[in-house]
Amino acid sequence: ELKHSVILREEAFNLVRIREKYNGDQDLIMGDAITECNFLFTYYTDIYNKIRKNEMDLQILNKFLDVLRDIEDGKLDQHEGSFKVGTLLKEIYVDSALRKADKLNEEHDRKEPEYKGPQVEISWKDFKRLQSKY
């Protein structure tokens, strides 16, 4: 039985090594990478391109490959694996969005309120009267 997780991990590592060897020169990388990482290029082209362009977090990829390996080895069924992948996706998208929101809130909390000129005390009755004029 073909186990993609092992091949994917090995070829992803090879692609990173090739990328570092040619210091980002995409033409040279393509030449070696297509031969050395043919399985990744043929069946997982999007992952191949993201790794080649250094657009993928390899720690996250490794976590997904760990789940895939556990499914392939029979340690997890597909439902349990799906739950684990969902949890990873939550960490990536939801938790990171919450961290980003917290960071933005911290930045905005530190700013001093903008001065809007002198404030005038006004009653509700006067406010409604002013609104009806417009």
Q: What are the structural domain ranges in the chain?
A: 1-55, 57-98
Question: Within 10 A of 61 (CB to CB), how many other CB atoms are there?
Answer: 16
Residues 6 or more apart whose CB falls under 8 angstroms from that of 18 comprise 29, 32, 33, 36, 37
More confident residue, 109 or 62: 62
Kindly report the pTM of this predicted structure.
Answer: 0.66
Distance CA 131, CA 134 (A): 6
Whole-number pLDDT of residue 73: 94
**pLDDT of 44 above 90:** yes
Whole-number pLDDT of residue 26: 85
Longest dimension (CA), the chain: 81
Model confidence pLDDT, tens digit, residues 53-101:
888 889 999 999 999 999 999 999 999 999 999 998 888 788 777 878 8
Helix H or strand E encompassing 98: helix 96-110
Whole-number pLDDT of residue 115: 78
